Amino acid sequence: MKILDIKNINNVPIKIDIIEQVGLANVRTDIPMTSQCSITVHNTANNAPSANDEMHHDYFKQLEKDDDLYVGAMIFVAEDSITQILPLDEVVYHTSNSESWYTSISIEICENGNYEKAEENAIALIAYLMNKLNIKLDKLVTHQFWTGKYCPHIILDSEDGFEGFKEKVANEMVEELTNITANEIIEKAFSAPEDWIDGCDLLEQFGAIEGNTGAYYILKYIRPAFEKVYAQGVLDGIEKG
């Protein structure tokens, strides 16, 4: 995915305002990533009241023109809106570790206003992306993970730390998975059987089948049959959607 494909999440609008490449490839690099296998969480470390998602867009747009600094991040999440400023599949210098540039989607949580709400918005967005791009929970990481920098500082300082943040994302992922319709489940099962089996594991792991009749029947009756035919290679000939 290059551009976020949803218009809003957690009751806030998602705005797409991609910075144009001007001069040196410093903010807009135009270099394709090699994969989108992880998500890196940052805090903006700017609590000025004006330092929202739109302000960061303008700031990085200017940096791209100035050709001075090789920095950036893809998505800025604030209390009342979310702005994507760079493509999700292009190298961005969001840490000083080159592996993070080529493989990790960078998300900044703004600190200018109601931080709790901004963080909730980020949790919903990250859960959506992880489900959509099939990113595993252990691939949700901090800036600190890559370089040791104390970022995202607010999350690292919180009582439950980044593990607590990950748990909230996991709960949100399950919520999203259990809300999908039977048709979507069947469609996913046949277009990406391995993802689907991973999804079942996740549902089971978090006990999401309790009280969810649809998920219960799928896991109890459909899954064993599905895994049987999958193991026999019957699905190999099916056209991928």
| Site residues (vs Zn ion, CB under 5 A) | 42, 143, 151
Which tokens hold the place of 237?
A: 């000939």
To Zn ion, the closest distance from the beta carbon of 42 in angstroms equals: 3
To Zn ion, the closest distance from the beta carbon of 73 in angstroms equals: 8
| Smaller CB separation from Zn ion, 150 or 217 | 150
Q: Counting Cβ atoms within 10 Å, is residue 148 exposed (0-12), middle (13-18) or buried (19+)?
A: exposed
| Smaller CB separation from Zn ion, 27 or 185 | 27
CA pair distance 65, 169, nearest whole angstrom: 36
To Zn ion, the closest distance from the beta carbon of 71 in angstroms equals: 10
| Smaller CB separation from Zn ion, 83 or 142 | 142
To Zn ion, the closest distance from the beta carbon of 48 in angstroms equals: 17
**Sign (positive or negative) of CA dihedral 153, 156, 160, 165:** positive
| Smaller CB separation from Zn ion, 61 or 143 | 143
| Smaller CB separation from Zn ion, 130 or 151 | 151
Side-by-side strand order, sheet with 38-43: 8-9, 12-16, 82-84, 75-77, 104-109, 38-43, 140-142
- 87 CB contacts (<8 Å, ≥6 apart)? 2, 3, 18, 74
- 111 CB contacts (<8 Å, ≥6 apart)? 43, 44, 45, 46, 47, 51, 118, 154
To Zn ion, the closest distance from the beta carbon of 98 in angstroms equals: 15
| Smaller CB separation from Zn ion, 57 or 143 | 143
Question: Are 3 and 86 within 8 A, CB to CB?
Answer: no
To Zn ion, the closest distance from the beta carbon of 143 in angstroms equals: 3
